[in-house]
Structure 1
Amino acid sequence: MSLIKKLNKGDKVSLIAPAGAIFNDELIKKSIQIINEFGYSVKLGKNINSKYGYLAGEDNKRVEDLIDAFKDKEVKAIFCIRGGYGTIRLLDKINYNVIKNNKKIFVGYSDITSLHASFSHLDFPTFHGPMFSYDIFKNNDNYNLLFEFLEGRIDKLNYALTPIREGNIEGKIVGGNLCVLCSLIGTQYQYKFKNSILFIEEINEEPYKIDRFLNQLYHSNILNEVEGIILGSFTNCNPEDKNRSFSFEYIYEYIKELTTKPIYFGLQSGHDYTNKLLPLNITAKIIDNKLIINKGEVFID
């Protein structure tokens, strides 16, 4: 596992749109303002304003921005401005050798899960964390925590969890958006799940769809390979018609039928008001119902 360099005030960071289009240019301006307020200059991806249907430009243009950000020696971190859809279309077009030779902070979530999964094969940490369009009008503490950790000012992340089935475990944190994870199953880009702690989150999916995704993980033997499971935020995942569906709480009970491993919920990470930073592809522990991530697993000292 390669450790990466932390951020320092005054560094230059890149803001890119590798997935869905930004249809409100004011969000880009606001994103730059927020990053500037934390003490960083911003280099925009050349195609961040592009629109190609629901995508932020054609696939080759979005790949170009991604690779340029990794190649640029002045850029110390890469922030994705939004998710949406589109990163799965890039996976076979990326020059992974460029990324392997230029490992640096990379932050995003939702559809960015595809990139986190594919980058995991290069053995460096990436970050499931707030973005600068979808999260702008949410909890400012999201950004405070993001930069405090990326600057190395927090020695340890310590998140309280609620057990569905208890157990002290250790493993590499993998995961992200549940739907996106399932779309990668059977491809060369999916995570290596053995000996990992699987984190999942979701938005706008009814309980029967969550049920289906979990069964896909089950029948793919993934739930048997992992050391344990953390359920993050499941936003707007209650049924539209409660008379014709289970409630979302049913999922907490049902998942126990699919695995004998420890299961936890309550990590406020995902598409909700609070979206806590979660380093991925690094070793973490769950001890006494707390997720513990040490800075030393992520950054060069």
Structure 2
Amino acid sequence: MSTDAHGARRRTLLRGAAGLALGAGLAGRSAFAAERLPLVKPPRLKPGDTIGLINPSSAIYERGPYELATETLQAMGFRVREGAHLRARHGQFAGTDAQRAADVNAMFADPGVNGILALTGGSGGNRILPLLDYAQMRRNPKVLAGFSDITALINAVHARSGLVTFHAPVGVSEWNEFSLRHFRGVLVDAQPITMRNPQDKGDLPAPKEDRIQTIRPGVARGRLLGGNLAVLSALCGSAYLPAFDGAILFLEEINEYIYRVDRMLSTLKLAGVFDRLAGVVLGAFTNCTPGDGNYGTLTLDEVFDDYFGTLNVPVYRGAMIGHIRRKFTLPLGIEAEVDATAGTIRLLEAAVA
């Protein structure tokens, strides 16, 4: 065989191998993206039920937050059971990965526990995802709730088991009347409630706080999915990110420079998440600033316009989601209707059985 013929044959084989590898990769990705499990709703919470406290992420170093969370849940009418490793510490984490995962698995396995609430967020929740028993979660559905770094847990559990999970206050959150009303409405009363920002004007002619901004008007319906932007974008490329086809994506963030917010949104865009959405709800982006010395940076308005202004789906900003005092409780996987002009999220069905 001539050198030219040998080279041509080698290039053909290489192209064929590359094509097979790419095809296998795409097939695997498509298979996962298509793996949308049947929805499983957990039983609603009732007065007298036992709430299991877990800490899948960062350690808490003082006794006060444990006592406050327990007293708060008891005042809400629940019994409280601490995870075996709730007060453990391993570096900045609330115990080793194995300990934190064991508490999650044990709470789902315990027939005496009716709901599971994260004590706090922080970081490290994504480390325990491969250690969780998702089949057991599907067999023993229970309310699982939290926010911030708990975004990793509630999205992975929903993606891998089909269980409806909840973006809600954590144990150490401020359980004010607004947050408590939404938590009870969704999880105790089992109501398909409508969530809207408070209209507290005080003595002003127009409300100054908790305002919404319509980026793209319109009404959309789809499954609610989302959470903290940094945590959600870090799940891209893994088997723990839900399929976003036809979904309403909600996002929130805290303490990130604007260029990092831009980078994380770019990650979701490059992963194809934005191409599949029916609508977007942006919550609080608390203390997300240009940072010292960052002259000429884009504003958050401009970043959001860049990513969502031409998306051709309804988008609004300012919903009561995130690291703020008053919070909605949002069920992942439940159908909702979003009105980007009115700034409302209306559940179309009960989130609990």
TM superposition score normalised by structure 1: 0.93
Partner of 2:52: 14
Conserved 8 A contact 1:223-1:258 = no
Count of equivalent residues = 297
Task: State how far apart, in whole Å, the 2-side matches of 1:2 and 1:167 are.
Answer: 30
Paired residues for 1:230-249 under 5 Å? 230-241=281-292, 243-249=295-301
**Which letter maps to 1:72?**
D
2:268 is equivalent to residue 217 of structure 1: yes
Find out whether 1:299 has 2:337 as its counterpart: no
- Distance in 2 between the 1:190 and 1:94 partners? 15
Q: For residues 68-122 of structure 1, what are the alpha-carbon distances to aligned partners after superposition, in whole Å with 9 as ceiling and x for unaligned? A: 1111111111000011111111111111111111111111011111111111222
- Percent sequence identity is 29
Whether 2:198 is the aligned partner of 1:146: answer no
Distance 2:110 2:281 in 1: 35
Measured after TM superposition, the shift of residue 13 of structure 1 is 0.9
TM-fit CA distance, 1:262: 2.0
> For residues 49 and 202 of structure 1, what CA distance do their matches in structure 2 show?
27
Distance 1:257 1:37 in 2: 44
Which SS does the other structure have where 1:82 is aligned? Answer: coil
Matched, 1:156 2:208: no
Structure-1 separation of matches of 2:181 and 2:195: 16
2:190/2:352 contact within 8 Å kept: no
Equivalent position of 2:224 in the other structure:
173
Answer whether contact 1:218 1:258 (CA < 8 A) is retained: no
* Structure 1: gaps spanning 5 or more residues: none
**Other structure's SS at 2:44 match:** coil
SS in 2 for 1:50: coil
RMSD across aligned C-alpha pairs, in angstroms? 1.8
The equivalent of 1:196 in structure 2 is 247
What is the letter of the counterpart of residue 227 of structure 2? G
1:266 is displaced (CA, Å) by 1.7
Q: Which residue matches 1:285?
A: 337
Q: CA deviation at 1:153?
A: 6.2
1:118 paired to 2:156: yes
Residue of structure 2 in register with 1:269 after alignment: 321
Deviations 1:181-217 (A, max 9, x none): 1111011111101111111110001111111111111
Q: Which moved more, 1:281-290 or 1:70-79?
A: 281-290
- Aligned residue runs from structure 1 range 76-87, under 5 A: 76-87=114-125
Larger radius of gyration: 2
Offset, 1:159:
2.4
Which amino acid in the other structure matches residue 100 of structure 2? R
Q: In 1, Cα distance between the equivalents of 2:281 and 2:300?
A: 16
Letter in 2 for 1:286: V
CA distance in 1, matches of 2:323, 2:313: 25
Deviation at 1:255, TM superposition (A): 2.2
CA contact (8 A) 2:250 2:283 kept: yes
TM-score, structure 2 normalization: 0.80
- Whether the 8 Å contact between 2:186 and 2:350 is mirrored in structure 1 is no
Which has the larger share of strand? Answer: 1
Letter in 1 for 2:350: E
Tell me by how many angstroms 1:258 deviates.
6.0
Cα deviations by residue, 1:262-286 (Å, 9 ceiling, x for unpaired): 2111211111122221111111112
Secondary structure of 1:91 counterpart: helix
3-state DSSP of counterpart to 2:131 = coil
SS of residue matched to 2:130: coil
Maintained 8 Å contact 2:51/2:80: yes
SS where residue 114 of structure 2 aligns?
strand
Alignment of 1:86-105 (within 5 A): 86-105=124-143
What is residue 209 of structure 2 aligned with on the other side?
Answer: none
Distance in 1 between the 2:101 and 2:66 partners?
A: 19
